[in-house]
Amino acid sequence: MFRYNVRGENIEVTEAIRDYVEKKVGKLERYFSDSPEATVHVNLKVYTEKTAKVEVTIPLPYLVLRAEETSPDLYASVDLVVDKLERQIRKFKTKINRKSRETGMNTAKAAIFLNGEETPEETPELDIVRTKRLSLKPMDSEEAVLQMNMLGHNFFIFEDSETNGTSIVYRRKDGKYGLIETD
């Protein structure tokens, strides 16, 4: 059974909005044989340019579903996010079904959470067509951003000279930069 944590930024989450979100996101439960115990995190944002962004994260035992959509209408953004989450679930189910057919047995523990209905194979095989090997150079995050920009890439993997761990810098959609640090 899903529990809901609905937050609003620059918007008051009314009962009507909460009901709409719970009704739409609740439809995803039909994809699971046993309703998983999960807290659905929904973040609603309204921007000054009259757009609404909806972010939904559903952490499940063997899968984290996450999607976000921005559109001029809050309710349309909710619909688009639910569509995106449905595609993710169908893709995951297809992958599990394919693996179980290939090996002749159920290879993924996650399959117990998905109901048994077959889904048509909607996605092509995910073939790795290129492999790169690299040696990580110790540097700080600012130098990694400079290296990333020099190469014209959207992300860059490096050894953080401060933590000695592997880190990744990436370019965000808003043009700013993000940093992912590993433990």
Return the structure tokens found at 79: 């619909």
CA torsion 122-61-27-73 (nearest 10°) is -90
Tell me phi and psi for residue 160, to 5 degrees.
Answer: -70, 120
**3-class secondary-structure state, position 67:** strand
Please identify, in words, the CATH class of the domain defined by 138-181: alpha beta
Q: Which residues contact 104 (CB under 8 A, 6 or more apart)?
A: none
d(CA 35, CA 2): 8
pLDDT recorded at residue 113: 55
- Whole-prediction pTM value? 0.62
Q: Quick check: 65 pLDDT over 90?
A: no
Domain ranges of the chain: 2-113, 138-181
Question: What homologous superfamily does CATH list for 2-113?
Answer: Ribosome hibernation promotion factor-like (3.30.160.100)
Determine the average pLDDT of the residues in 34-57.
Answer: 86
